[in-house]
Structure 1
Amino acid sequence: MTRLLKKIRQIYGDMNLQSKFTIVLSIAVTIPVLIVGIFFYTRLYDMVVSDTIRKEQDASSEAAPLIEARIQKILDAYEEITELGFYETLFHQPVNSPFQMLLDPRDAEAFQKKAQELIDGQTITGLQIYMDFPTESVKLFHDELTQNYFVPMSLAQGTYWYGIFQGTGKSELYCPEFYLGEREKCTFGDMAYIVSTTFYYQGNAHQAYIALYSSSDQLTQMLKRNLTLDGSVSYIINERNAIVASSDKSGTGIYLLDYQTVEDSFMASNGFIERTILDQKIYAGFYNIRQPGWFMVTVLPSSSLLKQSNFIMFQYILMYLAVLVLASVMAHFLARSVSSRISSVIRQMSKVRQGSPVPMESPVYHDEIGDLVDTYNYMTRKIQQLMDEQMKAAEELRIAEFNSLQAQINPHFLYNTMDMINWMALQGQTSEISSAVQSLSRFYKLTLSRKKSISTIGEEEEHVSIYLKIQNMRYHDNISFISDIPDELTDYQIPKLTLQPVIENCVLHGILEKDTKAGTIVLTGWMEQEDIVLLISDDGVGIPPEKLSTIISGNSAGSSSGGTNIAVYNTHQRLQILYGRAYGLTYTSRQGQGTEVQIRIPARRQTQEPV
């Protein structure tokens, strides 16, 4: 397995960039789509169920109010009829009033007009008033204004709804299709709203029924529009388990739930419930049609949901294949455009083997590769510039080192020291003369040795210690020197005569300019990441702000302190030439309190013992 992976890695590593880009981009597109597809497929069925149920709930919440509005129109039509004077006279007359008042043609004409107006063929398809009189001489059944609406009770007898009224004593009834007789269904409609009432004739009460007929077609269309899933069924059931309307009669027969189950489920949950019918899981949802006490039931079979989820997955696969093909084509052209431009840069850079690098033409596009070309062109110009400056830099370094060493061999220090030794001889201070001569000898040995230009921090520390020892012989030990350099730093490299010019500046222009001619110099150091920082501080008179910025700039050569400042400037320049602009000397000072000098050099260990 390891060898196989190594072989695959080698093959991939040897491919050209175009092939690599094509493979990587194709994989980058394919893997996320596959992962999403697998994750999507495992949850697709649940997602389809949840989404379909939500849609059905939304559709039901829209369909149910429409059904209730249709029923309300029927109720409103009935109210309009009962408000007519003709109706009031017929059904609300005093018990012993003469019935001939019913023959008032004006009331009968108003009744006919209202009936014709209500029977619009959309909501109300027919009106029948069933009633019986002991004699057939009553003109209600024969008059042209009323004969189409008043019929004898014998036409209602034998219907299912008539039996319900007789058996239950109900005052009103919403009748589905099978409650009605064949005459009613063929002539008026397959649904009816029927109200039971009474009238008085010759002092006796008689039963009557007012029936407003309508068609279930509108309800059927509403139920069909309520469905968002093929194979699902929606129907309306009443309290007698009768189907009021259905989107599919055969499907309703399969998935019919009895009214009590629907009512109990509705009370338990307003959402969809799971049931198993004929070994098939279904999801049933309910919506209460409050006015008649009906329930609208929507049944979603699991087979239809599974079919829909498979269809969605098929669509997803088709889209995935289309995206894969498009991604492969785009990856090919993108990889080709990138690799061809990179190849041109490689060809141009390979010319360096025959000579100096040659700039390329300026890029047309300024993307990453365009930036690479610009950078390459800049690099070629910079390399040429650096090659030109290399010899100049080497010469400047040699001159800087010479000037630094020469400036630091201060003749006044030598004259003053020799004068001090002369006075010691006159005074017979033999041991002091010996110590002074030895110190001066060691000082100039460390200063003038030219075998190496690089020393160690430990030797530079010794060098400045000797310098301060000689100065203390002249100034009666008024200068205190504290060296606190960690032992682990003493073997690191440092250019010769880096510390002495700074220490000399501290003595001559810091401590000796104080009224007391006394002070303290502290030398310490530490590591900062890959650098070494040496800090020299004194408690001298400090440096005025206007002079502070000129010390390492070389602009103070004309001042009275020019000699020592030139040495400091040369030291700073030498460090920057050797190590770069990030290194060198940094001065900070407060007048009357003292000066601090920070020397930063890279941390490099001494490989050979310096001489």
Structure 2
Amino acid sequence: MCFLWEKIKGYYKNLKIQQKLTFSHLIIVLIPMLVIGVFFYTSLYDMIVSNTIRSEQERAAETAPLVEDAVKEIIDVHRSLRSSEFYKELTSGEYLDDLKGLSYGTEAEQFRQDVLKFSSMESISAVRIYVDLDESELPFTAGRKYSTLQPLDNIRSTHWYGIFQGSPAMANLLCPSFYLGHYEIENYGNLAYVTRDSINNNGEYIPCYIVTYFSDSYFTKLLQDNITSTENVAYLVNSRDNLVATSNSFLYGTYPFSSDEIRENIMSSNNFITKTVLEKKVYAGFYRIKNTDWYMVAVMPVDPIMKKSTRIICNFLLIYIAFLLIAFVIASGLSHSMTRRLSLVVNQMAKVRFEPPVELKDADSQDEIGELIDTYNYMSRKIQQLMDDQAKAAENLRIAEFDSLQSQINPHFLYNTMDMINWLAQQGKSDEVTEVVRRLSRFYRLTLSRKQELTTIADEAEHVSIYIELQNMRFNNSIDFIMDIPDYLMEYSIPKLIFQPLAENSIIHGIMEKEEKTGSIVLTGWMEDEDIVLLLSDDGVGIDPDILSKFLDGTLHNPQSKGTNIAVYNTHRRLQILYGERYGLSFSSAKGEGTEVQIRIPAILP
């Protein structure tokens, strides 16, 4: 053993420095990784399984309250309608001799409005009252599917009506789809909350049912949004084993649980537990939905989790091997970079025995060996290089900042225009669609067709004219645009996208903030010494002095004007970067009267 060790040591001592460094780097990387890999490999599977179960359990625990809130919202609406003056008067138990007369009073009108309001909610599809009277005796255009009052004959064949008939003490019922009739499902919704009351009509008590309909699609979406994998399923069932909603109909049939099993497991555990369903091992969680006889079941099969764990372990091994290969390449490269230059120094110094020293070539690095080769020459060249690089970097930074500001085109104008085109197309207004597309094409051709950062005032004026025309198509020609720029200024140069952000600010936060939603924008200009001054004014609501003082310094943080303020600030900065600090924008505004923005640029011909 000692002989073998001495042989290994002798072999290592005779290796080249590059090989020694490569081996040492690999050992430094390899040993910790091997220790960590061996230590965690045995527990990695359990960690993945536990993390997956915990994640699904948290999602399921978040979903149950969402379902409870949705049910509570439906029941609250139902109770609100039952507590209305019209319904209380209808079911008060007092003698009711004129149902139609009651139904045309102010309380009935308010009740109808409440029904319409609640029926427009996402969670509720319809509200109906079924009364055991002939259709001719009912008001509210009785018998039609959109009438609030319906004859009882429409639901006599339903399962829920049979349940009420067989349970005289039952006052209300939360109905799954199975309980409802074809007429109800087709016209109103496939789930319902029902309350039984009665009406004293001419001394005879007749049954009355108020029904709030809703759809299982609302609950299906809640379940689907909180499922982390297509292999998992969550579903709602009631105490009679009737399905209410499910995230996946096929998987619900694959992993069914009876209400007795659900109640037993709810009592035994609040966490996911291991179950065997149809010879398949799963993790399942069970939750009781408050104010209902519903239960939520979340099922997660074991097989996909095992496959996921295996896949992660394999990926870990592949990454580990790739990491070793990369470490070997890096270690070899680093070792070679040091030993190669060191060999050059040794060989050159060996020549001193036979001839005068010869200056080495400049070093290509800044480590100790490089400093040994030619410190002074290297430092001189480095200083000059840094100075050149600094000047070049400053110029590149100025150009990059200008290009960055130039490229910040707010896309919401395009989105709004596309929405308008879609609306016109749906209305069959093909001529208007053609005109909008033609103008929008010209608008972006002026913006994007050329790579140069400058254009002419004429093209920029046409660009903003098209923008206001498109906005007028959107806002029903509520904006008057007057342009009075002298012809001799039209051929002077100006950066692209100067007028449009200012016009947008005038429209969105000036004219459209007015009560009448109409106004005017005026664009004019003149020559002042060797500068061109362009003035864009509007008769909008104006700008608060506090906001105005921060409009161009980049410190304004106003959520209501964030988009346009950034565009205006970028426009100002672009002009200053391109021409200097004395150029750019200046604002003046009077609250309630309008705003003027002055654009100052140097007079430069293309």
Give me the whole-angstrom Cα distance separating, in 2, the residues matched to 1:307 and 1:338. Answer: 46
Partners of 1:146 and 1:93 in 2: CA distance: 27
Distance in 2 (CA, whole Å) between partners of 1:161 and 1:287 is 25
Inter-partner Cα distance in structure 2 for 1:149 and 1:66 = 29
Shift of 1:192: 1.0
Q: Which amino acid aligns with 2:285?
A: G
Aligned to 1:285: 285
Q: Which residue of 2 aligns with 1:234?
A: 234
> What residue is the counterpart of 2:313 in the other structure?
313
Partner Cα distance (2:302, 2:4) in 1: 47
The one-letter code matched in structure 1 to 2:161 is: Y
Would you say 1:157 and 2:162 are equivalent positions?
no
Matches within 5 A, 1:458-469: none
Alpha carbons of structure 1 residues 347 and 282: separation in structure 2 relative to 1, 3 Å? same
Corresponding residue SS for 1:158: coil
Structure 1 unaligned residues grouped into runs of 5+? 355-359, 374-611
SS at match of 2:139: helix
Structure 2 counterparts to residues 176-575 of structure 1, below 5 A: 176-340=176-340, 343=343
Question: Is residue 57 from structure 1 mapped to residue 57 from structure 2 by the alignment?
Answer: yes
Aligned to 1:517: none
Offset of residue 256 of structure 1: 1.3
Distance 1:161 1:124 in 2: 19
AA aligned opposite 2:82: T
Number of equivalenced pairs:
372
Whichever residue aligns with residue 181 of structure 1, its letter is G
Cα deviation, residue 119, structure 1? 0.7
Deviates more, 1:304-313 or 1:251-260: 304-313
For residues 2 and 155 of structure 1, the distance between their equivalents in structure 2, rounded to whole angstroms, comes to 100
Name the amino acid aligned to 2:188. F
**Aligned residue in 2 for 1:48:** 48
1:594 — aligned with what? none
The answer on 1:110 being equivalent to 2:96 is: no
The letter for the 2-side match of 1:189 is G
Quick one: structure 1 residues 240 and 365, their matched pair in 2 at CA, closer, same or farther if it must change by over 3 Å?
A: same
Amino acid of the residue matched to residue 151 of structure 1? Q
Per-residue displacement from partner, 1:443-500 (whole Å, max 9, x unpaired)?
Answer: xxxxxxxxxxxxxxxxxxxxxxxxxxxxxxxxxxxxxxxxxxxxxxxxxxxxxxxxxx
Q: Output the CA distance in 2 between the equivalents of 1:145 and 1:101.
A: 19
**CA distance 1:103–1:224, shift in 2 (3 Å):** closer
Equivalence for 2:421: none
Which letter maps to 1:53? I
Q: Which amino acid aligns with 1:119?
A: S
Tell me, in whole angstroms, the C-alpha distance in 2 between the residues paired with 1:147 and 1:340.
90
Q: Which residue of 2 aligns with 1:139?
A: 138
Instruction: Please identify, of 300-309 and 343-352, the stretch whose mean Cα deviation from structure 2 is larger.
Output: 343-352
Give distance in 1, aligned partners of 2:121 and 2:96. 39
Deviations 1:153-176 (A, max 9, x none): 222222222222223342221112
TM-aligned CA distance change 1:291 to 1:367, over 3 Å? farther
Q: Hey, what's the Cα distance between the residues in 2 that align with 1:353 and 1:68?
A: 93
Distance 1:200 1:284 in 2: 50
Q: Distance in 1 between matches of 2:16 and 2:290?
A: 75
CA 136–255 in structure 1, closer or farther in 2 if over 3 Å, else same: closer
1:86 counterpart residue number: 86
Distance 2:304 2:277 in 1: 14
| 1:550-576 residue CA offsets vs partner (Å, 9 max, x unmatched) | xxxxxxxxxxxxxxxxxxxxxxxxxxx
The DSSP-based 3-state class of the residue aligned with 1:236 is strand
Q: Contact 1:141/1:147 (CA < 8 Å) preserved in 2?
A: no
CA drift of 1:102 comes to 2.3
Change (3 A) 1:136 1:249: closer
Any idea what the Cα deviations from partners look like across 1:279-328, whole Å, max 9, x if unmatched? Answer: 32211112332121422211110111112223323432443344233222
Contact 1:229/1:304 (<8 A) preserved: no
After superposition, give the CA deviation of every residue in 1:360-411 in whole Å (9 maximum; x if it has no partner).
99999897879999xxxxxxxxxxxxxxxxxxxxxxxxxxxxxxxxxxxxxx
Match of 2:291, SS? coil
Q: How far 1:139 moved relative to its partner?
A: 3.0
- Structure 2 letter corresponding to 1:139: L
| Rounded Cα–Cα distance in structure 2 between residues aligned with 1:324 and 1:82 | 73
- Note if contact 2:77-2:118 (Cα within 8 Å) is conserved in structure 1: yes
* Residues 1:67 and 2:67 aligned together: yes
Contact 2:132 2:151 in 1 (8 A): yes
Give the whole-Å Cα distance in 2 for the aligned partners of 1:287 and 1:161: 25
**Shift in alpha-carbon separation, 1:42–1:84, aligned structure 2, 3 A:** same
Moved more, 68-77 or 103-112: 103-112
Q: 1:38 to 1:226 in 2, by over 3 A?
A: farther
Q: Deviations over 1:192-216 (max 9, x none)?
A: 1111222211222222221111111
Percent identity, please.
36
Indicate the SS of the match to 1:140: coil
**What is the CA-CA distance between 1:140 and the residue it aligns to?**
2.8
- TM-superposed deviation, 1:231: 0.4
| Aligned mates of 2:22, 2:368 — CA distance in 1 | 18
Residues 192 and 335 from structure 1, CA distance in 2 versus in 1: closer, same or farther, beyond 3 angstroms? Answer: same
Larger Rg: 1
Gaps of 5+ in 2: 355-359, 374-606
Report the Cα distance in structure 1 between the residues aligned to 2:156 and 2:7, rounded to whole angstroms. 95
Q: Distance in 1 between matches of 2:45 and 2:185?
A: 44
The alignment status of 1:123 with 2:148, answered yes or no, reads no
Q: Supply the AA of the counterpart residue of 1:281.
A: K
Conservation of the 8 A alpha-carbon contact between 2:90 and 2:199: yes
- Mean Cα displacement is larger for which, 157-166 or 253-262? 157-166
The verdict on how the C-alpha distance between 1:364 and 1:241 changes in structure 2, with shifts beyond 3 A counting, is same
TM-score, with structure 1 as normaliser = 0.54
Task: Identify if the C-alpha distance between structure 1 residues 329 and 294 changes in structure 2 by more than 3 Å, giving closer, same or farther.
Answer: same
Q: Is the 8 A contact 2:138 2:150 kept in 1?
A: no
Distance 1:236 1:278 in 2: 19
Q: Quick one: structure 1 residues 237 and 39, their matched pair in 2 at CA, closer, same or farther if it must change by over 3 Å?
A: farther
C-alpha spacing 1:99/1:363, structure 2 compared with 1 (3 Å): closer
Q: Which residue of 2 aligns with 1:584?
A: none
1:257 counterpart SS class: coil
Per-residue displacement from partner, 1:130-167 (whole Å, max 9, x unpaired)? 2203x554233645999712222222222222222223
* Counterpart secondary structure, 1:256: coil
Partner of 2:393: none
**Whole-Å separation in 1 of the counterparts to 2:293 and 2:249:** 21
Deviation at 1:237?
1.9
8 Å Cα contact 2:143/2:149 also seen in 1: no
